[in-house]
Amino acid sequence: MRRSPTLAAVLLPALAACGGGDTPGADTAGREQRPGTRLLAAGADTLQDKPPIDAISTYLDGFHFQSGDMDTQMEAHHYCSVLNEDVIQCVIHDGNVAGARIIGLEYVIDERLFAALPEAEKDLWHSHVFEVKSGQLVAPGLPGAAERALMEKLVRTYGKTWHTWHGGSDQALPLGVPQLMMGFTADGQVDETMVVARDERLGVDSRERREARRDIEAPPIAPGADAWQQGRVVQLADPTGQHGGAQAADAETRSHATGGPQAD
């Protein structure tokens, strides 16, 4: 039996590759940096060690929607580090340039760890099968063989994602409370114009990737994942009124479950 490469072996070379075209983040409130501020930042960058930042090895680009409100969709630039063979952690930005804003976090675990979670906890996690098989999830700049090996790993994982600064909106500051995000599970859910724009900007082709991944085995999605499809929506109530969308109390009418097929 062919042994699958470890996560570290797959992920570590990723940032050495070209990351594709630039995606600037949205505008942020505040004044332009003063020379003294830039000098302090440059000094700190030179003098201070930053091991957690240095551990980031992989750039992934995909799409999320707000749990219970599929109309709120956005592109998400993930910068990820490998904690061990079964756990990855990603900082999510609204672009892939130096000034991009941090808009959230995603924790990724393998199917074995997901199966052991408490049932209520599973409602917070989404599967990655469709994201991989559809070609929506890409690793810009990675050679084809390396990206395929990475996707063979990720197709068997689950993610828990919280956005704290709601990319795709006109928010100039991180307003409101964090929102739980989900991944798409079937054709017809994502805004295709958003995918096409991403592909053109990063120089990738989701349709070609979908075809190339046809023979990646799609594991059965574990019970409890993608709970929004069964009308179980977990969302934080927002007392600031910034997010008038999904709340658990009206999940059945707002879950937009399609029950559609997985990508082949």
Please report the pLDDT score of residue 163 as a whole number.
96
What is the Cα 57 distance to its own chain's centre? 15
Please report the pLDDT score of residue 167 as a whole number.
59
In degrees, rounded to 5, the angle at the alpha carbon of residue 70 between the alpha carbons of residues 66 and 72 is 60
Alpha-carbon distance of 242 to 163, in angstroms, equals 13
Where are the strands (E) in the chain, listed by range?
58-66, 69-84, 87-93, 102-110, 126-127, 157-163, 179-182
Residue 12 lies in a domain: yes
Residue 217 lies in a domain: yes
100: tokens are 């991009």
Please report the pLDDT score of residue 2 as a whole number.
38
Largest CA-CA distance found in the chain, in angstroms, rounded: 59
Please report the pLDDT score of residue 244 as a whole number.
57
Say if residues 227 and 246 touch (Cβ distance below 8 Å): no
Residue 133 lies in a domain: yes
What does the pLDDT look like over 68-123, one tens digit per residue? Answer: 999 999 999 999 999 999 999 999 999 999 989 999 999 999 999 999 999 999 99
Alpha-carbon distance of 113 to 120, in angstroms, equals 15
Q: Can you list the residues of the chain whose pLDDT is less than 50? A: 1-4, 13-18, 245-262
What does the pLDDT look like over 136-154, one tens digit per residue? Answer: 999 999 999 999 999 999 9
What is the Cα 165 distance to its own chain's centre? 14
Residue 264 lies in a domain: no
Residue 220 lies in a domain: yes
Strand partners, 98: none
Residue identified by tokens 């927002």 is: 238
Q: pTM (2 decimals)?
A: 0.83
The full DSSP string for 22-88 is --PPPP-SSPPPPHHHHHHHHHHHHH---HHHHT--EEEEEEEEETTEEEEEEEEEEEEEEEETTEE
Residue 186 lies in a domain: yes
Residue 178 lies in a domain: yes
Any residues with CB less than 8 A from the CB of 220 and at least 6 apart, and which? Answer: none
Domain total of the chain: 1
In terms of residue numbers, what domain contains 163? Answer: 7-17+44-254
Residue 142 lies in a domain: yes
Closest Cα to residue 14, out of 86, 106, 78, 74?
A: 78
Please report the pLDDT score of residue 42 as a whole number.
82
